[in-house]
Structure 1
Amino acid sequence: MAMFQRSETTLEVDGDDALVIQAELDAAVALASSACRSRRGGVLVTQHDYWSFTVSVSPDVPAGHLVRRQAWRVTC
């Protein structure tokens, strides 16, 4: 399980245990929510597969809101 800071406004959460992933996602959302105070935008959580997520501050999400989406990575 790991949470990586990809940029100033984006965190990646990867793992193989659902309970740990949920805890890390909660922590990442809290960090992104704090960053939203100094930037315009809300929190966007993107699920890439069962175990990989990106949490970011997005100007496309209204301030104070959280949006979840799926953008599954294609593997061959």
Structure 2
Amino acid sequence: MNRHNNLSSKIEDRVKLLEKFANHARKWFNGDYGNEEKEELKRLINRDLIVVRQAVIDAGTMQKITIAPPPVGGVILQSYRSI
């Protein structure tokens, strides 16, 4: 039973981390921060990025996408990790 509680606790911690990261990323991309908050928000996103990426990989939900410019030409990114 203790092992189950420990696993549940780890899962809850990861979910909280992912929710917090999503909120920070949403704030950043929406420009929903003041000048004094900008550096702190960037620091929080960078601090959690590696852990969030690993959580997504561990959950088996990592998706790679291909980013390409219009068909006129240019660089094509293949197997790009969005996180």
Structure number having the greater strand percentage = 1
Q: What is the TM-score of this pair, normalised by structure 2?
A: 0.33
In our comparison, the structure showing a higher alpha carbon Rg is 2
Structure number having the greater helix percentage = 2
